[in-house]
Structure 1
Amino acid sequence: MTSEPPDPRDVDADPESVARTILLDQLAGRARSRRELADKLAQRHVPDELATRLLDRFEEVGLVDDTAFAHSWVEGRHAARGLAPRALAQELRRKGVADEVAREALDQLGSDELEEAARVLVRKKLRSMERFDDATKTRRLVGMLARKGYSPGMAHRVVKDELGEHEAPSGPDI
């Protein structure tokens, strides 16, 4: 278990060393945006001037890179949770990633890839919805896709297609 670094306000602690330890501890688990790191330093009472200087240095050496962070975040969250650009953009905004950087990262998701992800989500959810009528299934599935950031048009189209395939007979019964 990692022990907490001392408070930078402690008389005996070297504030720069403490701040570096905080940053390295934060980056050990996963990549983080510059603002996430700045917020953590502020929470730990690191002076703003020192925080800015260290964050600039960490950027220079490539340990903090909002562009790489955004690309990695989009790829990972889309693959793991099936999130669409709208939801991913909100997450990146909350993490302090600039809109233009987020837009660039979101552009890596193609429309075919998004539609296939929506279909996978719908098929997975359909398995547990046998007891519901089509109207209820449609409402719940479209709602699920909307919460994941899919456009209403794509959500309705995918749900309609998947319900049609799900209900269609798989072949002649012999």
Structure 2
Amino acid sequence: MPDPEETGTERDDRIDRLIVSRLRRSSLSVAEVRAILVEHGLDDAEVEEWLERYERLGYLDDRRLAEQLVHAHERRGRGSGALVHELGRRGIADELAREAADALDPEIEFEHALAVAERRARQLGGLERTVAERRLSAFLMRRGYGSQLVRRAVAIALDGAADGGGGADTRGS
């Protein structure tokens, strides 16, 4: 919160150090920086000036942040639904979130979903097929994968688990 003894220059220096420090730790969205600035007592006009400055300097770029999060989600084995949720949570505009999700390679997303499903299917081996399908489908849906992709991955993973992991490769179907 603002210090009543603080001069305008001191306040600006403090806020600048705070924002730059947070940006060094991780990328932030425009909405996240806006929230920090508001939290520190800046009025709307001041907030817009700071945001404009950070965007001009290249510190803030929601499109670039969305692209970074696409790559992070691909590495973590999460689906496009989880990506869109994360982008929304971070205050990224819906249009940018949809563009980012569209940038995901559907085959890579499927390969990740299948790998996750195969690992999980081994844990469900003692269950009836319908129970295993339901549980595995719910697990993948919670990870942000779409229903059509989930159905495909679940069928292949459970068929492979039933074959002892040596089933035919039907990934292209």
Equivalent residue number for residue 4 of structure 1: none
The amino acid that maps onto 2:101 is L
Equivalent residue number for residue 44 of structure 2: 48
Equivalent residue number for residue 62 of structure 1: 58
Which has the higher mean CA deviation after the structures are superposed, 21-30 or 63-72? 21-30
User: Closer, same or farther in 2 for the Cα pair 1:77/1:10, shift >3 Å?
Assistant: farther
Corresponding residue SS for 2:73: helix
Corresponding residue SS for 1:127: helix
Query: Contact between 2:125 and 2:162, CA under 8 Å: does it hold in 1?
Result: no
Equivalent residue number for residue 12 of structure 1: 6
Query: Contact between 1:8 and 1:18, CA under 8 Å: does it hold in 2?
Result: no
CA distance in 2, matches of 1:57, 1:112: 40
CA distance in 1, matches of 2:84, 2:3: 36
1:104 to 99, 103, 113: 99
CA distance in 2, matches of 1:9, 1:46: 12
Q: CA offsets per residue over residues 57-111 of structure 1, 9 Å max, x none?
A: 111111111010010012102312x221222112211211112222222222111
Q: CA offsets per residue over residues 13-70 of structure 1, 9 Å max, x none?
A: 5221122122112112110101011112212223332222111111111111101001
Query: Contact between 1:33 and 1:65, CA under 8 Å: does it hold in 2?
Result: yes
CA distance in 1, matches of 2:47, 2:26: 19
Structure 1: runs of 5+ lacking an equivalent: 1-6
CA distance in 1, matches of 2:122, 2:159: 14
CA distance in 2, matches of 1:124, 1:8: 52
CA distance in 2, matches of 1:146, 1:38: 32
Q: Is 1:31 matched up with 2:17?
A: no
Equivalent residue number for residue 76 of structure 1: 72
Q: How much does 1:144 deviate?
A: 1.0
Query: Aligned-pair RMSD on alpha carbons?
Result: 1.8
The amino acid that maps onto 1:12 is E
Structure 2: runs of 5+ lacking an equivalent: 168-173
TM-score for the superposition, normalised by structure 2:
0.86
1:168 to 148, 153, 163: 163
Identity %: 27
Query: Contact between 1:19 and 1:46, CA under 8 Å: does it hold in 2?
Result: no
Q: How much does 1:128 deviate?
A: 2.3
